[in-house]
Amino acid sequence: MADSVDLGKCFEIINNLTTEAGRLIARNNETRQDFVCKSGEIDLVTQTDQDVEKLIMNGIRQHFPDHKFIGEEESSTEAGVNKLTDAPTWIIDPVDGTMNFVHAFPHSCISVGLKVNKVTEIAIIYNPMLEQRFTARRGQGAYYNGRRMQASGQRHLNKSLVTSEFGTTRDEQKMQIVNENFAKMAKNVHGLRALGSAALNMAMVALGAADANYEFGIHAWDVCAGDLIVREAGGVVIDPAGGDFDIMSRRVLAAATPELAQDIAKLLTQYYPQPRDD
């Protein structure tokens, strides 16, 4: 089916749409934003999240009316997450890092991936406040503002800058594991960062600015684009227990090298979020 999809046109359209949507995000990021809570008091949604998702979906539908969508805000309704099929499917996080966004902290982004036959073909992560655009097409490398980028190649945990997040729930069991893993990392890595955006954390691994990123509790729309961008930059994306990455598992570990990824997997206390995205 990928042969019948004009991926060049898809890439051009989504680049233009993210630029347009980015202007809306950047303008609204100048002041603190009103929000409502979804699953809890730290799982937030703003009008901008909804407007950006609608802008991108409607723009894609104009050119590709038969394409499917899995979007964060659409998936938060009672209908739940759409099933991933072989059909061309856009997986969209309109504002990844909403907590940052509502506080006017300029570290959030649009994250979009296109899957065809369940294989990610196109990925874009765009932070319009800082004009950081990370892109990839399968088999064609990863780019930062048009410049080819490469993961760091770091193999040693004690020399690695690692990113992770607290997540959007404060479930007691999960928080115990999150804090346990932060303590383990702090003792073993060069540095540990929690900057508030799962997609941008993965983009930093691709850029070589961070050496690894792990998180439990993320969703498919948080990591679809980042997965391809990291792999096209020469990094690896696996399950945090060391096996194959499963985009619907709500678990991810990205690293500059397989050796580093496996060392981190051996160190982590595991957590399996429920429900899965499928």
pLDDT digits (tens, 9 = 90+) for 236-248: 999 999 999 999 9
Residue-level pLDDT at 133: 98
Average pLDDT of the residues of the chain: 92
Residue-level pLDDT at 1: 57
For residue 90, the surrounding DSSP H or E stretch is strand 89-96
d(CA 8, CA 11): 5
Cα three-residue angle 86-199-160, rounded to 5 degrees: 120
Q: Which two tokens stand for residue 61?
A: 């539908």
* Positions in the chain whose pLDDT score sits under 50: 41-43
* Burial class for 188, CB neighbours closer than 10 Å (0-12, 13-18, 19+): middle
For residue 55, the surrounding DSSP H or E stretch is helix 47-63
Q: Choose among 107, 108, 114: nearest CA to 71.
A: 114
Model pTM score: 0.94
Q: Choose among 198, 259, 206: nearest CA to 224.
A: 198
pLDDT digits (tens, 9 = 90+) for 169-197: 888 999 999 999 999 999 999 999 999 99
Contact between 7 and 122 under an 8 Å Cβ cutoff? The reply is yes
